[in-house]
């Protein structure tokens, strides 16, 4: 039976990307060597890095005064590294859930952290409104919240540098990169297998590093060495490049955004229409990537049966995070509309059987 993978991450890649990954393991670029065994200090891998760079820039229209770099480790590594590099006196954070909280926790080691807005009062089911602060080293946001299913639908205007963790919605929608001083994230949702994280950083930020840091912690090291101060995660970066190539081939961010909206609308419409289910997130904060819903009042006891029913139809990974409960369908870039249709059909058939 065909599987429909709604995992929250690591997540699906496009079919073409799996194929490229396999070909490169068999023989990278006609070299007779596997991508798993090539030296990163070779023109062929330089070409991979350069192609990834060019594609990233083209797809997100990244201005020339930004640099892209990669690190091993994940966004959790960036949580403390961002503060280690840039938090001299005080930084502002918006608290939109678990990942924001982790970033805030790590930042507090390095200076004062002001939480300027939070949606904790309603179990993080909305993106709070806030005035961008002044006089802080930076403002930090989490652009999409995988656990709670909320997402910023706009870029942030601020005088201070805006730093965004975009782990879970990078390249899923158009953004105005020029409004951010730094965008970072783990790549294992929309771009790559687990094992590589990316950063897009405005060059002037490299002159604003506030303390002397271990070589691997300073962002300057990675920019100055084109992410090759030490051996980078070669294979995950190769797959990332292949994902970027795939994204360009289908029409870029504009097209994937159209598809993501289409998939999300399909599912949210069913959630809103179907008497057995209800969404957990305020409508204007709903994530295109992680769609959270629970059984409606009076139907709570049907949750395990619905889970079982979806499994029988090949659906994988829709159990909600324990902090929200219910269901979470993660609809990252590579998820096909067909998978959402199967889920919606399950919801409809289930309602036909059980609606009171």
Give whichever of 222 and 259 is closer to a second copy, judged by the CB atom.
222
- Rounded to 10°, the helix 337-354/252-273 angle is 0
State which residue, 23 or 258, has the beta carbon closest to a second copy: 23
Query: DSSP secondary-structure letter at 297?
Result: T
Cβ atoms of residues 298 and 334 within 8 Å: no
Rounded to a whole number of angstroms, the minimum distance from the CB of residue 308 to a second copy is: 17
Nearer to a second copy, 236 or 279 (CB): 236
Burial class (CB in 10 A: 0-12, 13-18, 19+), 216: middle
User: Considering the complex, what minimum distance in angstroms separates the CB of residue 351 from a second copy?
Assistant: 27
For residue 170, which of 146, 148, 147 has the smallest C-alpha distance? 146
Minimum distance from CB of 297 to a second copy (Å)? 29
Catalytic residue at 165? yes
- Alpha-carbon gap, residue 103 to 79, rounded angstroms: 5
Q: Binding residues for a second copy, per CB under 8 A?
A: 1-3, 5, 7-13, 18, 21-22, 25-26, 31-40, 71-77, 79-80, 84, 102, 105-106, 109, 186, 188, 193-197, 212, 214-217, 229-236, 239, 314, 316-317
Output 105 or 258, the one with its CB closest to a second copy: 105
Please confirm, yes or no, whether 90 is among the known catalytic residues. Answer: no
Compare residues 150 and 188 and give the one whose CB is closer to a second copy. Answer: 188
How far is it, in rounded angstroms, from Cα 152 to Cα 251? 23
Say whether 99 is catalytic: yes
Residue 99 tokens, joined? 């990942």
Shortest distance in whole angstroms from residue 129 CB to a second copy: 30
Shortest gap between Cβ of 118 and a second copy (angstroms)?
21
Q: What's the CA gap between 72 and 335, in Å, rounded?
A: 25
- Neighbouring residues of 195: CB distance < 8 A, sequence distance ≥ 6: 72, 188, 233, 235, 236
The catalytic position among 53, 99, 137, 246 is: 99
Q: Report residue 245 CA to chain centroid gap.
A: 18
Q: Any idea which residues carry the catalytic annotation?
A: 99, 165, 189
């Amino acid at each position: 039976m065909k599987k429909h993978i709604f995992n929250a991450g690591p997540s699906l890649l496009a079919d073409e990307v799996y194929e490229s990954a396999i070909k490169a393991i068999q023989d990278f670029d006609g070299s007779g060597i596997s991508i798993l065994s090539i030296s990163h200090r070779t023109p062929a891998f330089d070409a991979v890095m350069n192609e990834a760079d060019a594609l990233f820039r083209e797809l997100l229209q990244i201005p020339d005064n930004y640099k892209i770099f990669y690190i091993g480790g994940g966004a959790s590594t960036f949580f403390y590294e961002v503060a280690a590099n840039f938090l001299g006196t005080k930084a502002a954070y918006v608290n939109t859930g678990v990942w924001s909280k982790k970033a805030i926790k790590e930042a507090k080691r390095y200076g004062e952290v002001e939480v300027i807005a939070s949606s904790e009062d309603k179990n993080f089911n909305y993106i709070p409104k806030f005035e961008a602060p002044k006089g802080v080293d930076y403002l930090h946001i989490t652009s999409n919240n995988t656990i709670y299913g909320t997402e910023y639908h706009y870029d942030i205007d601020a005088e201070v540098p805006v730093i965004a963790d975009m782990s879970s919605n990078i390249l899923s929608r158009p953004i105005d990169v020029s409004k951010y001083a730094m965008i970072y994230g783990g790549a294992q949702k929309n771009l790559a297998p687990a094992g590589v994280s990316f950063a897009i950083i405005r060059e002037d930020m490299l002159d604003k590093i506030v303390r002397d840091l271990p070589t691997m912690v300073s962002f300057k090291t990675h920019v100055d060495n084109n992410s090759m101060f030490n051996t980078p995660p070669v294979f995950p970066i190769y797959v990332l490049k292949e994902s970027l190539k795939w994204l360009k081939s289908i029409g870029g961010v504009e097209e994937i955004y159209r598809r993501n909206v289409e998939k999300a609308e399909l599912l949210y419409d069913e959630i809103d229409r179907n008497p057995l289910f209800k969404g957990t997130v305020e409508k204007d904060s709903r994530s295109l990537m992680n769609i959270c819903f629970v059984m409606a009042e009076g139907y709570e006891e049907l949750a395990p049966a619905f889970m079982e029913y979806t499994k029988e139809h090949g659906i994988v990974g829709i159990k909600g995070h324990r902090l929200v409960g219910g269901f979470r369908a993660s609809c990252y870039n590579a998820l096909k509309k067909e998978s959402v249709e199967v889920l919606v059909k399950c919801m409809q058939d289930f309602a036909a059987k059980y609606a009171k």
